Amino acid sequence: DAGVIQSPRHEVTEMGQEVTLRCKPISGHDYLFWYRQTMMRGLELLIYFNNNVPIDDSGMPEDRFSAKMPNASFSTLKIQPSEPRDSAVYFCASSPTGGLMNTEAFFGQGTRLTVV
């Protein structure tokens, strides 16, 4: 299996622009997670989906952030408008049926976002 695939690997954008991060989970995995990593806050969960349905978005920092999962093989995390404080590494992860209570999470390589 190719693992969790994220694109782009790096993104540099100007403040105020819309940014879209993409994720393809491991085939057959029912759970998909979006994490953000910063120096100040470490790794934190933003939102997760089960069977394409958002279950918990309490970690999404502001209304400027939105996430969708239109099908089992694709998810997006959108920031509109972007701000310099959104600069971070964004990770997508997936896990099989049963979620993390029964099995482990597998992470993509991350997208390093820089907002200037």
Partner 1 sequence: GIQVEQSPPDLILQEGANSTLRCNFSDSVNNLQWFHQNPWGQLINLFYIPSGTKQNGRLSATTVATERYSLLYISSSQTTDSGVYFCAVLPYNNNDMRFGAGTRLTVKP
Least CB distance from residue 31 to partner 1, whole Å? 7
Q: Does 5 bind partner 1 (CB under 8 A)?
A: no
Q: Which is nearer to partner 1, 42 or 70 (CB)?
A: 42
Site for partner 1 in 35-94 (CB under 8 A): 42-45, 48, 50, 55-56, 59, 89, 91
Helix (H, G, I), strand (E, B) or coil at 67: strand
CB 54 within 8 A of CB 46: no
CB 32 within 8 A of CB 6: no
CB 63 within 8 A of CB 76: no
- Interface residue list for partner 1 (CB under 8 A): 31, 33, 42-45, 48, 50, 55-56, 59, 89, 91, 99-107, 109-110, 112
